[in-house]
């Protein structure tokens, strides 16, 4: 065990593991007030909280997500509804809670489905006529910004947000969404932005996100930030290889072994649920659906489309792309298929990354809201016959174990847990980012801890 521990330490696994398993500690320095818009279940806010911010208002349109948020931030006022309708309530709630203190941090995390690469209807980012209304939600934060004048605003979304072209109104030329946002802030803020890879910060999964930071021009540290040509983002700690002071990326196999999850199997309910952890369970599959998963070689990273052994006659080299065995004519029941109206069989049309085991020797594929669907990208466990459990997905997102999921469990809304986990910015990253922002607001700028511009 000591040998394994040393190996994990060299790979930097101790960093996310320690963050994940810590208690909800009391911060010794005075907390700075924060507000969260499009808060979801508040998962991303946990990192900023650990860095020294206190969330006093959360805004979330979905009542179920708001219930989870309220359970975990009982001292915060939760405003429920569409932000363009509730922004005045957000402002009033903040002023009631902090009548004499200026807002330090405004966190804005609108839904990304309108621009996500997993959304086939998102259109081209350069075409304003395909613009999903969800692409414009970050602009709904502007009335709150104008009213409360936060010292720092953080906006998080998928990288496509930096390229998205939008058409705001008649008579106006299409512009980049980020340019619209910057112009609407007027001359009060300076904007910084960058695309960050969560694996570069010790998060055991690949997850690229755009982070936009607007700093009010009256912040003294802004001049130092400009002079040092640094971004208000944390410097990376991990890389593909251990070199130049970086830890190596945390691989999925290292993480799963280190966390020692009890094994599960999708073959039956008894094998797919763990009694001591209500979040460590997976969907069950029957018949050919289970066969499809079980026949993918463990640790291979292969897809069920590549299963080559005919279950009827045993031929082991059935060509890829075929639905029937060329020897016996039986359907390839261990490949993703559907029955046609005439009773025949055909392969399900899917991406090469669907119905595929996750690679064990690299960080996990991005945890999404569809983490329970084996037909989605890279969702099957590297060596067990199942998808990842809610517990494993939460851990891969570095959601601290103290997070209270009891409302979702007691009300049979565990599906919601999967969704909010897939929506979140990993709290480990927001903790590292929160420390950068907290130091900046305290007048401390250390270029060695910041990402270069």
Task: Encode pLDDT of 390-411 as tens digits.
Answer: 999 999 999 999 999 999 999 9
The encoded tokens of residue 375 equal: 């037909």
**Regions of the chain short of the pLDDT cut 50:** 1-8, 115-123, 128-132
Distance between CA atoms of 86 and 20, rounded to whole angstroms?
A: 33
Q: What is the pTM (predicted TM-score) of this model?
A: 0.92
- Can you give the pLDDT at residue 115? 47
Fill in the DSSP letter of residue 133: G
- Can you give the pLDDT at residue 324? 95
Q: Give yes or no for a contact between 116 and 210, defined as CB atoms under 8 angstroms apart.
A: no
Fill in the DSSP letter of residue 25: P
- Can you give the pLDDT at residue 113? 55
Element spanning 418, H or E = helix 414-423
Q: Give yes or no for a contact between 355 and 373, defined as CB atoms under 8 angstroms apart.
A: no
Distance between CA atoms of 442 and 431, rounded to whole angstroms?
A: 16
* Delimiting residues of CATH 3.40.50.150 domain(s) in the chain: 2-248+425-452
Element spanning 230, H or E = strand 230-234
Distance between CA atoms of 316 and 371, rounded to whole angstroms?
A: 31
**pLDDT (tens digit per residue) in 79-121:** 999 999 999 999 999 999 999 999 999 999 999 655 444 444 4
Which single residue is written with the structure tokens 């084996």? Answer: 374
CATH class of 2-248+425-452: alpha beta
- Can you give the pLDDT at residue 396? 98
Q: What is the 3-state secondary structure (H, E, C) of 173-211?
A: CCEEHHHHHHHHCCCCEEEEEEEEEHHHHCCCECCEEEE
Burial of residue 28, with CB atoms counted within 10 A of its CB: 0-12 exposed, 13-18 middle, 19 or more buried: exposed
* 234: CB partners within 8 A, 6+ apart: 201, 429, 432, 433, 435, 436, 449, 450, 451
């Amino acid at each position: 065990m000591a040998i394994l521990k040393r190996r994990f330490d060299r790979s930097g696994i101790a960093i996310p593991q320690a963050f994940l398993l810590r208690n909800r500690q009391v911060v010794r320095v005075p907390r700075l007030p924060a507000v969260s818009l499009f808060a979801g279940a508040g998962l991303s806010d946990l990192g900023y909280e650990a860095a020294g911010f206190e969330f006093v208002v959360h805004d979330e349109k979905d009542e179920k997500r708001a219930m989870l948020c309220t359970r975990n931030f009982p001292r915060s006022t939760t405003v429920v509804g569409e932000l363009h309708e509730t922004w005045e309530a957000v402002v009033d709630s903040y002023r009631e809670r902090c009548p004499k203190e200026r807002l330090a941090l405004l966190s804005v995390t609108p839904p990304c489905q309108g621009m996500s690469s997993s959304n086939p209807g998102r259109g081209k980012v350069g075409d304003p006529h395909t613009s999903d209304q969800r692409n414009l939600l970050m602009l709904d934060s502007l009335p709150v910004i104008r009213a409360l004048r936060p010292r720092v605003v953080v906006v998080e979304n998928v990288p496509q947000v930096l390229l998205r072209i939008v058409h705001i109104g008649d008579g106006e030329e299409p512009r980049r969404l980020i340019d619209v946002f910057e112009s609407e802030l007027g001359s009060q803020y300076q904007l910084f932005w960058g695309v960050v890879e969560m694996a570069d910060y010790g998060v055991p999964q690949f997850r690229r996100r755009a982070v936009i930071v607007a700093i009010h021009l009256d912040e003294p540290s802004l001049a130092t930030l400009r002079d040092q040509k640094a971004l208000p983002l944390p410097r990376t700690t991990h890389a593909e290889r251990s070199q130049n002071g970086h830890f190596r990326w945390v691989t999925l196999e290292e993480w799963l072994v280190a966390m020692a999850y009890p094994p599960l199997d999708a073959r039956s309910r008894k094998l797919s649920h763990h009694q001591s952890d209500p979040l460590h369970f997976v969907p069950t599959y029957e018949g050919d659906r289970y066969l499809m998963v079980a026949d993918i070689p463990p640790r291979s990273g292969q897809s069920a489309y590549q299963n080559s052994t005919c279950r009827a006659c045993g031929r082991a080299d059935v060509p890829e792309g075929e639905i029937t065995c060329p020897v016996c004519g039986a359907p390839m029941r261990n490949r993703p298929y559907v029955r046609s109206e005439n009773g025949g069989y055909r392969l399900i049309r899917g991406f090469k990354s669907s119905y595929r085991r996750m690679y064990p020797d690299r960080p996990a594929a991005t945890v999404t809201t569809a983490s329970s669907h084996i037909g989605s990208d890279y969702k099957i466990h590297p060596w067990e016959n199942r998808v990842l459990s809610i517990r494993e997905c939460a851990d891969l997102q570095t959601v601290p174990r103290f997070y209270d999921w009891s409302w979702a469990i007691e009300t049979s809304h565990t599906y919601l847990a999967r969704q909010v986990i897939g929506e979140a910015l990993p709290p480990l990253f927001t903790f590292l980012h929160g420390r950068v922002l907290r130091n900046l607001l305290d007048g401390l700028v250390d270029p060695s801890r910041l990402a270069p511009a």
